[in-house]
Every structure is written in structure tokens, then in C-alpha cells.
Amino acid sequence: MIPVQGLERQKVAVLGLGRSGLSAARALRAGDVQVLCWDDNPKARAVAEKEGFTVRSLKGAEDFEGIARLIVSPGIPHLYPAPNPVVAAALAASVPVDNDIGLFFQSFATLAWDKFDVAPRVIAVTGSNGKSTTSALIHHILEHVGRSAQLAGNIGRGVLDLDPAVDGDVVVLELSSYQTELARSLTPDIAVFTNLSPDHLDRHNGMGGYFAAKRRLFAEGGPDRAIIGVDEREGLFLAGQLAEAASDDRVIRISVTRKLTGPGWDVFARKGFLSEYRRGAQVASIDLRQVAGLPGDHNHQNACAAYAACRSLGLAPKVIEAAFHSFAGLPHRSQTIAQANGVRFVNDSKATNVDSAAKALAAFRNIRWICGGLEKDGGLDGLADASGGVRKAYVIGREAAAFAMQLTVDTEVCGTMETAVTRAVAEAEPGDVVLLAPAAASFDQYDSFERRGEDFTNQVKKAIGQG
């Protein structure tokens, strides 16, 4: 646990008592802070009370008298589409609003670091797609070389559940826009921006607000090194804002759409090869085509980002390349779950938006595509150019018929995962890939994308006789 520093003997309120909320409450208590908790869910309140926390409703500005800060869990809106009533009450009472990420950056460094030979480092990864894989890959590479490393944030443990740093420790944080937009302190040593595509637009009041939430990690964090995906205009703009000159190698630009050979520091992947250029000259190259855990251009972008982060820590290209080959990938992200009768079955349930689904489709050929779910804002037009490898789509979800009408490929309305898998298996031929890449949220039928991916896996195993 990371005890919170700087709020000793003060009173702090915590709103939302899920994983991050309870973790924040415990870390605050460990830092000699008086903690008040609230959650609209009675079961969550009961858990907090059982741990000895004071649970109290915080509905009006008068309830915040004497409270130094309100800590808000990521899923709770604080501005758009409308602030939660508790957040509104805190703001009306002039109480600062923060989250566990802000508390972490405020509290991670301690006086014990003065005795370390190598100061601990924090790598923070954000972006629309690829955050989890990039973060896990960086962590994997560090473990591969025997470096002390911890993984947390939107993946793995809550940030305040991390162990106190040891000499030379590296903390890798996956941070969502919900986390970066509210944290009052953001001070990573290395910050990574993978890409940007429409997502969570209601929460951020459009693309401008969404980009602004991501940008805070760099503009307010002031990292020593920024690794920026420049395949979208927002990333290109961000890189330009951060660099003092074209040759400023504090900014590492990454791409999977074009060759980058400027006067600075560039990492890009084309036709399956990752290349590192510095001052216009190539210094390293890695063949990614044989790396089983990183299939497709979208994973090659993740590889570029992770490579750049580890090179920033001084790791050698050959060491990073060796670690790539032992990376198994993450569950529900281009994960091969079975092969039978010449057919490959791939679970990419994490492809919850159009852009991530399009990238999954681009990674394979002869696709039996299982898609559908709770459609997000913006429609499905972005899938038209990516569906050339699709032989047929099998659509699930409560609104499967409406979803299917927007697709430009042969479709079959299936409704349930069981029906979709059964039909895809029945029609699949050797060389085909049965791919779950929903391009939609899961909440119309499942409580998470993980549950959806698990159902796909179970249905596949049953259908091919491995269940």
C-alpha cells in the first residue's frame, strides 16, 4: 500500500466504494487521514462499514464543512453529461475534487528514496486503444530483464495498492481519460500516448473534451520523455506542442502508417518490421511478423510504444526483441483461444469501439466475424473500409437487427453468442478465422467485456468438442 502523504489529520471524503474507492480510503487511513465514505449502493456501504470506515451521506454543501478534499472514483461523472450530486455539492462548497491517481502521484515519492542508487520511475500510458497491451508489454519486458516493476491503474492493481518503491523500481500505469482528466497531480517520468479515436464522448462532451482529458497527462504532467503516436492529427499536434525543436529527442514519435526519419527520435513499424531512427539514421530493426503475441498493425503500434518506453530506460534493442517473443498477449485482446480443423478462433472482446474493431479486422483474413452489442455514438461507418477480409458477420446483441443493417458485408442476425458461434463454426472452412470483435459495448447482454469474452471462449470450446 502507498500511504497518502500531505493530508495528515485532515478530513477527506471518498465517493464510490468500488476497487479504486476502497483502495483510496485505506491508503488515506494509512496516512493518518480521517475518512468519510459514500456510495449509492447499500452493499458497497456495508463493505466499507465492515472495514471500520465512517459512512455518511454527502448530498449538500453543508455536508462538506471541514472536508479538505473529495476523492471520486473513475466511473462517476464530475462535469459531463452532468455532475454527480455529491460532486456538485463539493464544488459548491469550494472543496477540491481529486481521484486516486492524484493521490498516488502526491504520495509515491518518500524520503527513503534519498538512499536509493537508482530513483524509481513512473511510466504512464494513455490513449483510446492499446493502453492495456502496451502497459502489460512494458511490464513484461522489464520483468524479462530482471528489473523490479509493478503494473497498476486501469489494469492490474489499484495505484494505491502498489508496494512502496524499492531501489530502481519502475511503476507502469495504464490511465484512462476518466483518470487523467481529474487527477490534481500528474507527474510521470515517461508518458505514452498511443492513439485517439471517438470514445466516451458523452462523458467528455465531444472529441475536444476527450482529447483534452488525455492531453493533461503531458501538458500538466511535464514528463521527462513523451512517446506520442502521430497517426492521428491530435497526436501529431500534441508532439508538436511538446517538442522545442524538430530535433528534440525528449519527444519520441511513433507510427504504423508511414516511415518517420526526421532529425529527432522516431520508432515506426511498416510491413511487419519495427525500426528505430535517431537523427535520420536507423539504429535498430525488429521483425515483428514472427511475434505470436502481437498480431496486426494495432499490436505493432503497441510494440513501437513499449519499445520506445524501454529504450528511454536504457534497454538494448536485442533485449527488447527477445522479450517480445515471450509475450503471450492479454486475455480478450486478439487472443487465440483455440484452433480446430484448420480454423483459428480469436477473442478480441476488448474491441468495444469501431476503431479497435477495425484494427482487429485488419489483422486477419477470411474472417467469420462475431460482432454487435450496445452501439456507441458515431455509428459504424468506420468499419466499411476494414471489412474487406470478412466472409460473413454473425451479429449478437439486443439490437442485432439494427446493427446488422449498418454493415456492408453478408450478415446473419444471431442475437446470442451461442447462436453466433454455432453458426460460424458450422460454416467455417480451413483457413478461416472466427473473430469476436464486437465494435460495441457489452452492457446490453453482459456486465463487462471480460464476461463477453469468456462466454465466447466457452461457446467455442463447446462447439468444437473441447468444452
Give the annotated binding-site residues for ATP: 127-133
Helix/strand/coil for 364: coil
**Beta partners for 36?**
13, 54
Look at the block and give the residue holding cell 492493481.
157
Of 450, 132, 125, 123, residue with least CA distance to 299: 132
Say which residue the cell 476523492 belongs to: 71
CA atoms within 13 A on the CB side of 465: 3
Cell of 169: 523500481
Check: CB of residue 243 under 8 Å from CB of residue 218: no
184-190-122 Cα angle (round to 5) = 70
269 SS3 class? strand
Residue 78: all three cell numbers together: 464530475
- Hey, is 374 helix, strand or coil? strand
Q: Is 28 exposed, middle or buried (0-12, 13-18, 19+ CB in 10 A)?
A: buried
Quote the cell numbers at residue 12. 477527506
Nearest C-alpha neighbor of 37 from the set 4, 50, 203, 88: 50
Q: Is the Cβ–Cβ distance between 456 and 467 less than 8 Å?
A: no
Q: Classify 29 as helix, strand or coil.
A: helix
Helix 233-242 and helix 207-219, axial crossing angle in degrees, nearest 10: 30
Binding residues: 127-133
Buried b (16+ CB within 10 A) or exposed e, 299-326: bbbbbbbbbbbbbbbebebeebbebbee
Q: Which helix (H) or strand (E) holds 237?
A: helix 233-242
Report how far residue 213's alpha carbon sits from residue 208's, in angstroms, rounded to the nearest whole number: 9
**Cell reading at 127:** 490513449
CB count, 10 Å around CB of 105? 19
What is the helix (H) or strand (E) element at residue 415, kind and residue range?
Answer: strand 411-415
Whole-number Å distance between alpha carbons of 200 and 195: 14
Distance (Å, whole) CA 434 – CA 339? 10
Of 382, 384, 80, which Cα lies nearest the Cα of 232?
382
Nearest-angstrom CA–CA distance, 204 and 201 = 5
What angle do the packed helices 42-50 and 19-30 form, to 10 degrees? Answer: 30
